[in-house]
Each structure stands twice: as structure tokens, then as C-alpha cells.
Chains A and B, each alone.
Chain A
């Protein structure tokens, strides 16, 4: 019995100590948490984790990235509460649900713990209900405007464009589409259609083809993420649309990068999530140390083109993009 309990104790200790071997020696003895709705098993979040860890090393503080194995908001809230209980000097979290985060963040702020939001925010109609101090992430609408401005020099006055959405009703994707549409209608006076292409690649190709048949004067196609980009790129390759229709997208993914290198895609918006991890720790650190107020930081200013695709591809492999 004793031997058994002893074994249990030793193994438990070994597991725990192994788990925290990544701990950085903390010069300022400060601890910051970055809590995401998905853990580093997702390649996107592995990059955020890299940013968090690098910032911790650079500043000489303990910076911890945590997230549930799969997309799980209640689990994320539980982790956030645990970080509060550990008396963190600051916590960053993604606002993965507009309602579930109201109380936890109010509670943290009432205890004097600085909070910044990363990656995603509550939708427009609920803005201001969650008292985080700043948002570090891509402004979806501004990113949409940016990609439209990037393509505008290549478009004629009154040019017709289509924005293909693979998940209609998704707040972030709709905001991207609105940004594109607002710029092109205001600046070129052209018609911008929004097309629901669904998440099914076969259906998406069918829908886009029939749209282009009905609207042969379409000058530009925009997709708002990899699930829309993959079928669109396939269609453009199959139908030989390279050079005939301008095309741009959002997010980094191997198909999109290859299409950029092949000249099919003009470019893609990169939300640079490494910054979301790195800057969250920096802003929380500066607040804890010098009482500097965290400020909003738009990380989505990266636009990958043919010129930068090669270097970005290497950085994707290295886990920085």
C-alpha cells in the first residue's frame, strides 16, 4: 500500500515537473497568461504560443500559453478562472463567445487584473459589454478594406467584383466582405456581389462557375478564408482564368501560397498571429510594470504577394507565420 502510494506520488511529481520544464526564470517574478479557445495542437495557435513564449524570454517574465485541446469555450473560461486564482499579473484571452466572457472578465478587472483581448472580439452589436482593456488582433473590416485597396489599381472604373463567403452569417467573415464591398463601391462605383459558396468544395466550384457564366464581366473574385480559397483556386486552374480575373484571399495556407507563386492569386491577408501572442505579453507587462494602458493593435496588416511568398513559406514552416 505504502509502496503504491509512494509510486503514485513520484509519478505525479515527475509528470508535473516535466510539464513545467519550459518555465523561464522570471527576472521580475511576474506571470502572464494567454488563454485561447484552442490549444497549440492547432497550427494557427502553435504560432501564437511561439509568440507568447518568445515575449516571455525577451522580457524575462513567465509567460504561459494555455488552451483546451479542441475548440471549447467553457474549458477556456475554466482555465481563465484558474489563471485568476494563480494571481496572474495579467491575462490575455480570445473573446470566443460574446456572452460567456462578460462575467469572468468583469470579475478579473474588479480584482485589479489587467486583461487584453486577442484574436477575436464580440460582434459589433455587443461592443463595450466586456471590459477588456485593449484588443490585439486583426480588425476584420479594416482588413477587408485593405485587400480591396491593394487590388484597386488593377481594376477599371465600374469594375464588377464578387466576394465569395464560405460560411454565411459568420460575423468575422461578413465583416471582411463588407470592408471589400464598401471600398470598391465607393471608389470605383462598381457592383460588388456577395455569394454564399458554402463549405462544400464541390458545391462551391459549381456555384462560382454558374455565377461567372451569368456574370461574364466579373473582374475580380475575393474569398475570405482557406475554405473558400481552395475550391476557387481549383476552379481558376481548371478553367484557365489566370490573368483573366483578379483574385485575392485571406489567411495563409499552402494552396493559397502556391497560387500566389503561380500568379493565380494576387495576394492574401495575413493576420500575423505571432504578434497576437507576443504583443499581448508585452502590453500586459508594460501595464504591470509602468501602468501603461494597453492599446488596440491591429495585427492584420500583412499582405502576402508574389514577392514575399517564398520567404513567408519558409516562416510558415518555422512556425512564425
Chain B
């Protein structure tokens, strides 16, 4: 570790170490190397298509989770919001005969609204978002179960919108939802890195007092980010509905923790103030790779949890080490 400062190409290494994505990139390379060495088909285009398709549904929510986390809050209700978003779309199309596009707009608006309510309660009652969204997670899951009495809702008719959301494919096994995810990721990356709002997000989650003194509207920033994660959770649910043609009120139960895990693997700090959208997206790809890879090599699926758990801790430890090296080399 301490040899890095005096390595032959200090400028390159220093530049590299300043990227928060280094930890997750290492994790991803290791995961790919291990699986490829055990199963040659792991690097087939078809497999990679499966990986990005799975990563898209998790990743779109994880992008929102990162944004919120950088501003110093978290949302545990995304899984329930995800299911509710998909279910509202499915119910309006099948039971109310709504125009699918209008139904889609209403569904993601409801999800955004749920996010906004989380924000309003957290900020006005001044309770930790962990508590607000824990309650919201249970409340909306209950609502979703009540709405369908526990049954999944399926759309058997050919609805073009569903193909556009996730049913259609771009190339090989890559579903269109992966493309949307890349676009959303790019937009959020630009907002975070290239706009004043991005600076506000970092400032809000970093030193809040200093941010306020500088005139950063921290409450507004948090409220917007709560709304955005709600919107993205609903969108994720609609993507999954598009790919599956069905949505069940019990789906997406592990989503909140998986989205947080993807963010953390990607170099985002739970304390706020630092983070990376690209890292989060690589984190989601790492988790999807583990999912697919374990099945391909025939390992019991339960290893998924152990693997992800291990990588969360290892990637964060690596990031902390890198942070020390960076501050030390300055």
C-alpha cells in the first residue's frame, strides 16, 4: 500500500486512486475472472446481456438510492414502491382499460408521490429517514397486498408499451430496460458531476452547516432526491412488469437492501457527502454477475447472499484504504 506514492508512474496511479470507482472495478474484475475461469460461457454475449438486464432493474433504483445517500438520507421503502408502481400500471391497463401510456405516467407519478411523502415526513417531523421509510416500506407493502389480495396481476394482451419498458430486446439477450438504465445513469451522472444541483447534493450530505451558510437549499435538495428515488423505484417496477408481463405484490422485497449494497459497493458513503453514479452502476453489474455466475457454475443459490455480503465489506474496506492513501499522498 505505502509503496504507491513512490511507484514509477506516480501521476497515473494518483489520478486512478482519486476515482471512487476503483474498489468496485477491482471487485468486478475479480468476479468476472473467477466465473470465467470456472465456466467459459460466462463471457458469452448472451450471458452479458442477461447480466445487464438484471442489473438494470436493480440499478435504476440504486442510482436513485445513491443520489439520496450522497445527500445524507436513505429510503428503505423502494421495494414496496417498486411493486406498487408496476402493480398500478398493470391494474389500470387490465382492470380499468386505461391507455397504457397514461397508466404508466400515473404509476410513476404515484411512486414519485410516495417518495415525496417520505421526504416531507422525514424533513418536517425531523425523524431519521431510516425510521420514516421503514414504516413506509411496511405500509405500502400492505397496501399492495390489499389491492390484489395477494395475487399477481398479469397482462396477457400484447401491449406495445410493455415491450418498450422491458419486454423488447435491443440485441441478443439485452432487454431495452438496460438501455433506459444507461440513459438514466448518464443523466444522473451529468446532474451530479456537471451541474450546480450536483454540488448542492454533495454539500447537503457533507457538511450541512457549512452548506447552509453558503446558501445551499438543503431541505429542498433532500425533498427532491426523495421524490426522485420514488420515481425511479416506480420506473424499476414498470421495467420488471415489462419484462415479466406480471407483477406480484410480494416482488422486490430485498430490493432496498440490494440497492443500498450496490451503492455502497460502488463507493458511496452511508454518511453522505461522497459517492459516484458510475460506481453504483458497476456495483449493480457486480451483483447481477454474481447472481448469474453462481447459477452457471452450479453453486447453490444461497451463496449469492454470502458473496454480496463479502463484496460489500471488501469494497468498502478497499475504498477506506484508498481514501487514506489519497489523503496521505497529498
Contacts and interface: CB of A to CB of B under 8 A. Distances in A.
A11 B303 CA distance: 13
A98 interface: yes
B300 A83 contact: no
Interface residues of A, number: 49
Interface in A137-152: none
Interface in A168-187: 169
A16 B301 CA distance: 11
A66 B297 CA distance: 11
Interface centre among A19, A41, A169 (most CB of B within 10 A): A19
A103 B167 contact: yes
9 closest cross-chain pairs (CB), A and B: A19-B299, A82-B295, A99-B154, A99-B245, A86-B296, A100-B244, A85-B47, A64-B298, A82-B292
A73 B245 CA distance: 11
A188 interface: no
B186 interface: no
A15 B303 contact: yes
B166 to A, nearest CB: 11
Given A5-B26, A8-B30, A12-B31, A73 B248 contact: yes
A85 B46 contact: yes
B34 A12 contact: yes
Given A31-B298, A74-B57, A81-B173, 11 more contacts: A1-B1, A5-B30, A9-B33, A19-B299, A72-B253, A73-B246, A84-B46, A85-B292, A86-B298, A126-B156, A169-B151
A66 B314 contact: no
B251 A73 contact: yes
Nearest to A19: B299
Given A8-B26, A66-B295, A19 B54 contact: no
Contact of B301 (A12, A69, A102): A69
Contacts of A83: 295-296
A102 B152 CA distance: 15
Interface stretch (B37-45, B112-120, B132-140, B177-185): B37-45
A99 B251 contact: no
Interface string A23-34: 100000001010
A86 B243 CA distance: 21
A99 B306 CA distance: 31
B30 A16 contact: no
Contact of A78 (B38, B54, B151): B54
Interface in B239-272: 240, 243-246, 248, 250-251, 253
Interface string A58-98: 00001010111111111001110111111100000000011
Contacts of A68: 301
Interface in B215-249: 240, 243-246, 248
A132 B248 CA distance: 23
B307 interface: yes
A41 B302 CA distance: 9
A70 B253 contact: yes
A61 to B, nearest CB: 12
A221 B23 CA distance: 63
Contact of B41 (A40, A87, A97): A87
A4 interface: yes
A81 B299 contact: no
A11 B311 CA distance: 10
A126 B57 CA distance: 27
A292 interface: no
B310 interface: yes
A73 B152 CA distance: 10
Contacts of B149: 169
Contact of A77 (B4, B33, B244, B302): B244
Contacts of B47: 82, 85
A8 to B, nearest CB: 5
Contact of A67 (B35, B301, B305): B301
Interface in B265-292: 291-292
Nearest to B154: A99
Nearest to A9: B30
A128 to B, nearest CB: 13
B244 A4 contact: no
A9 B295 CA distance: 19
Contacts of B35: 16
B144 interface: no
A120 to B, nearest CB: 13
B297 A99 contact: no
A39 interface: yes
Interface centre among B1, B33, B245 (most CB of A within 10 A): B245
Nearest to A84: B46
Contacts of A1: 1, 4, 321
A66 B295 CA distance: 7
A16 B321 contact: no
Contacts of B243: 74
A85 B155 CA distance: 27
Interface in A81-135: 81-87, 97-100, 102-103, 126
